[in-house]
């Protein structure tokens, strides 16, 4: 089971939070879910932080009562997905702030459904993938972080999570090597942005990215690429997705899912 839950939030008065609020919020959400943080090599959840317009001043953010905000939580395996599906929130209260819950939308599917629809049924391949990175996205490289949309690194991050959680194994280094040759970065409009953590920050990129499947690409493997891109909606991209990095939105024409 996979779930992508989105809550629409508002505040009743101007609300100030430190830039590093995200860690406290995700800890509280995991407590409400009954899930332990930090015990998983590959996290079974991804989280967006609070998305929307806010004012910035030094180390603080101000959220405004005339704006609407979004918060997303995704579960990548049965336990986490069921916990998120069962989570009932009337408001979010943390660090002296209160966000009212206006609405909630759940998108659910399964690994089997995604694989059957996008690969096993042999659909006509999609040759272009349009992605929007909503929160800072970066890739770990030794002791540094790379804030750039490198196709091989994006597909590796999605494939690693798919192979870890899905009952259907897709392949590893050979698949990445093939996709690297078959898919190019066609266009991007990105900028760097930082995720502030309790003891520092991580730079990442946000913005729009278009990937192009080359004409010579095998149709089956093009469909596998399409599957992994769709999976990114749930798993996020790159490092620290459990803490709010790498939230990935996919062009609506490409999305494939089922609803409960």
Q: For residue 247, is it within any domain?
A: yes
Within a 10 A sphere around the Cβ of 124, how many other Cβ atoms? 8
**193 and 216 share a domain?**
yes
Which pLDDT value is given to residue 94?
Answer: 97
- Answer for the pair 228, 163: CB distance below 8 angstroms, yes or no: no
Which pLDDT value is given to residue 257?
Answer: 43
- Answer for the pair 137, 205: CB distance below 8 angstroms, yes or no: yes
Which pLDDT value is given to residue 253?
Answer: 52
The total domain count for the chain is 2
Residue 152: name the closest of 129, 126, 131, 179 by CA: 179
Q: For residue 260, is it within any domain?
A: no
Q: For residue 259, is it within any domain?
A: no
End position of a domain, from candidates 109, 139, 155: 109
pLDDT band with cut points at 50, 70 and 90 for residue 111: very high
The yes-or-no verdict on residue 176 having pLDDT over 60 is yes
Which pLDDT value is given to residue 260?
Answer: 39
**115 and 234 share a domain?**
yes
For the segment 8-37, the average pLDDT, to the nearest whole number, is 96
Bridge pairing between strands 15-18 and 60-63 = antiparallel
Q: For residue 22, is it within any domain?
A: yes
* Separation between Cα atoms, residue 133 and residue 250, nearest integer Å: 9
For the segment 160-182, the average pLDDT, to the nearest whole number, is 96
End position of a domain, from candidates 62, 87, 109: 109
What average pLDDT is seen over the chain? Answer: 94
- Answer for the pair 46, 74: CB distance below 8 angstroms, yes or no: yes
**136 and 65 share a domain?**
no
- Answer for the pair 234, 134: CB distance below 8 angstroms, yes or no: no
For the segment 75-86, the average pLDDT, to the nearest whole number, is 98
Q: In CATH, what number is assigned to the domain containing residue 19? A: 3.30.70.1890
pLDDT band with cut points at 50, 70 and 90 for residue 22: very high
The yes-or-no verdict on residue 207 having pLDDT over 60 is yes
For the segment 69-91, the average pLDDT, to the nearest whole number, is 97
pLDDT band with cut points at 50, 70 and 90 for residue 198: confident
**213 and 177 share a domain?**
yes
Which pLDDT value is given to residue 204?
Answer: 98
- Answer for the pair 99, 70: CB distance below 8 angstroms, yes or no: no
Q: For residue 55, is it within any domain?
A: yes
Which pLDDT value is given to residue 259?
Answer: 42
Q: For residue 59, is it within any domain?
A: yes
Going by the DSSP 8-state scheme, the letter that residue 95 receives in this structure is T
pLDDT band with cut points at 50, 70 and 90 for residue 252: low
- Answer for the pair 212, 127: CB distance below 8 angstroms, yes or no: yes
End position of a domain, from candidates 71, 93, 109: 109
Bridge pairing between strands 45-51 and 144-146 = unpaired
- Residue 6's domain comprises 2-109
* Separation between Cα atoms, residue 222 and residue 224, nearest integer Å: 5
Residue 185: name the closest of 158, 212, 215 by CA: 212
Q: For residue 198, is it within any domain?
A: yes
Which positions ≥6 away from 44 have C-beta within 8 Å?
A: 35, 75, 76, 77, 79, 80, 165
For the segment 53-58, the average pLDDT, to the nearest whole number, is 94
Which pLDDT value is given to residue 200?
Answer: 86
Which pLDDT value is given to residue 199?
Answer: 77
Helix (H, G, I), strand (E, B) or coil at 115: helix
* Separation between Cα atoms, residue 83 and residue 70, nearest integer Å: 19
**95 and 222 share a domain?**
no
């Amino acid at each position: 089971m996979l779930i992508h839950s989105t809550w629409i939030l508002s505040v009743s008065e101007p609300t100030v939070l430190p830039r590093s609020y995200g860690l406290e919020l995700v800890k509280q959400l995991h407590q409400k879910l009954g899930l332990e943080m930090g015990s998983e090599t590959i996290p079974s959840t991804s989280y967006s932080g609070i998305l929307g317009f806010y004012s910035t001043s030094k180390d603080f953010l101000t959220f405004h009562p005339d704006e609407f905000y979004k918060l997303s939580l995704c579960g990548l395996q049965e336990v986490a997905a069921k916990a998120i599906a069962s989570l009932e929130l009337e408001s979010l209260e943390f660090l002296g702030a209160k966000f009212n819950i206006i609405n909630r939308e759940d998108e659910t599917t399964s690994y089997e459904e995604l694989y059957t629809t996008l690969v096993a049924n042999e659909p006509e391949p999609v040759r272009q993938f349009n992605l929007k990175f909503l929160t800072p996205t970066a890739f770990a490289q030794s002791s540094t972080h790379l804030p750039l949309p490198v196709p091989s690194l994006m597909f590796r991050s999605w494939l690693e999570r798919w192979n870890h959680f899905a009952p259907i194994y897709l392949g590893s280094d050979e698949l990445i090597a093939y996709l690297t040759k078959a898919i190019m970065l066609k266009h991007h409009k990105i900028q760097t942005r930082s995720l502030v953590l309790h003891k520092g920050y991580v730079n990442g990129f946000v913005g729009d990215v278009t990937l192009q499947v080359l004409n010579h690409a095998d149709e089956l493997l093009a469909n596998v690429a399409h599957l992994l891109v769709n999976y990114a909606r749930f798993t996020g991209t790159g490092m620290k997705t459990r803490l709010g990095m790498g939230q990935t939105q996919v062009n609506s024409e490409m999305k494939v899912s089922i609803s409960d």
